[in-house]
Chain A
Amino acid sequence: MLELFKVNEDQLSSAKILVVDDQIINLEIVRACLEPHYNITCQAESGKVVEQAVSIQPDLILLDVSMPEIDGLTLCGLLKANEATKHIPVIFLTGLDDSEEACWNAGGADFVQKPVSEVTLFNRVRVQLKLKFYTDNAQLYASIDSLTGVYNRLLFDTQLRATIGHSIRTKAAFGYILIDLDNFKRINDEYGHAFGDRCLKSVAQALRDAAQRPMDVVGRYGGEEFMILLPDTNDAGVVRVAESVLDKIRAIQLKPGPSDDAVYLSASAGVMCAHGTKGMTVESIFSRVDAAMYEAKHNGKDQYVVVN
């Protein structure tokens, strides 16, 4: 399992590092040490750091301790108090002889003494980035359905809550599609669970193919139930994706064995286009779209029903 979380070189070389120091020379020296390996952004004005960190979401922040506008220790506290930046590790760059304890107490992950040694800086940065990416990978894997690779219910619901909030703020509509594979119990009973798993993987891929925008989210609710979240999508867009989903599932042809005939799949779906409102919850949306999906089943399967 731990191997799954392993940090690879591609991840490391894509790391974004924000370097903060009020002295340009210090910034340029740190940039020269690290830029051959990582993506570096420099900031000389400490008052702009929190906003910038929220915006660019660096993987690591290097922070000078002594700065005129906001000192590094205070700034680290502000970053750790902000929901959007609290997870970003901070390495202090310090020339102060007696600031070690203060650096740890402020929430620093490590510190590097100035004048910087390029070898020490490189290695301490690398250690913190590895830890950060390892944690990121662990969280990602904890959020992914291990069989199909789509979001699990926990992460999907988190995304749905965020989308409801976004819709309340922007008045933009969003779509929610609940998909249930038809006759899946019979498939499992007839051809075995290994074949059933192949079917679920193919369906998950069909859903990913149908919901292709970067902000679209595909999840597995459990068993043979999947869902799709379509932020910033109107009625027509949601219906178009639902039709595409059912078409792509109908196109799946899987053979249980080399000499067997192909098994064709179909699914039933509940489809909803909504605007976020105060009081709207994941549960309230799910119950409506779940009822629509069961109506599609009741009407003969292999179809979708739109929530009124």
Chain B
Amino acid sequence: MANYDWDEAGALKRINGNTTLLKRLLTIYQQTSGQLLSEIEDARLSEDHIKLMNTAHALKGVAGNLSAGVVAKNAHEVEVLASSAEWGVLDEAISQLKTSSQRLLKLFTEYLEG
């Protein structure tokens, strides 16, 4: 069954099927994505539109390269909304990003421990 949160086959294809490298990249993601999410929350609290946009953009890029489609999509929504002042809509997008990020981390943990 297709997993919309993470396309494992797509991620592997991008790195020539190197499972060792994939595990290393997922581990790096586990270690660094929390920092990016914290920065997004900080930028929201301080209403720093530019930082919010740039950090969401960085998370989108990393997630996209790991074929984590939902996180990449949610991060993209935050990036786009960051330039608007509609905080309610933005907060909802950030909440969705955090939720999909948690699901993704769980998937990565299962893969790494599997």
**Which residues does A use to contact B, with CB under 8 Å?**
22-26, 28-29, 32-33, 36, 64, 66, 68, 95-96, 114-118
Contacts and interface: CB of A to CB of B under 8 A. Distances in A.
Interface SS, A side: loop
A18 B68 CA distance: 26
A96 B64 CA distance: 12
A33 B16 contact: yes
Contact of B14 (A22, A29, A66, A96): A29
SS of B interface (majority): helix
A32 B57 contact: no
Nearest to B55: A68
A114 B65 contact: yes
A22 B58 contact: yes
A283 to B, nearest CB: 55
Size range of the chain B interface in the assembly: 20 to 34
Contacts, number: 62
Interface in B66-94: 66-67, 72
A169 to B, nearest CB: 42
Interface string B8-26: 0000011110100100110
Given A26-B61, A114-B65, A33 B15 contact: yes
Nearest to A29: B65
B82 to A, nearest CB: 13
A95 B28 contact: no
B85 to A, nearest CB: 20
Given A33-B14, A66-B57, A115 B72 contact: yes
A118 B16 contact: yes
Given A25-B65, A66-B54, A118 B60 contact: no
B74 to A, nearest CB: 14
Interface in B1-53: 13-16, 18, 21, 24-25, 28-29, 32
A115 B67 contact: yes
Those 10 A-B pairs whose CB atoms lie nearest each other, nearest first: A115-B64, A32-B15, A95-B61, A115-B65, A29-B65, A25-B62, A114-B61, A23-B62, A66-B57, A25-B25
Contacts of A33: 14-16
Contacts of A68: 54
B13 A28 contact: no
Nearest to B68: A115
Nearest to B31: A24
Given A32-B21, A66-B54, A66-B57, A26 B16 contact: no
Contact of A95 (B18, B60, B66): B60
A29 B18 CA distance: 10
A105 to B, nearest CB: 20
B61 A28 contact: no
A23 B33 CA distance: 11
Given A23-B58, A24-B28, A32 B16 contact: yes
Contacts of B29: 25
Nearest to B51: A68
28 contacts: A23-B58, A23-B61, A23-B62, A24-B28, A25-B28, A25-B29, A25-B62, A25-B66, A26-B61, A29-B14, A29-B15, A29-B25, A32-B15, A32-B21, A33-B14, A33-B15, A64-B61, A66-B54, A66-B57, A66-B61, A95-B60, A96-B57, A114-B61, A114-B64, A114-B65, A115-B14, A115-B72, A117-B14
A201 B24 CA distance: 57
A23 B28 CA distance: 10
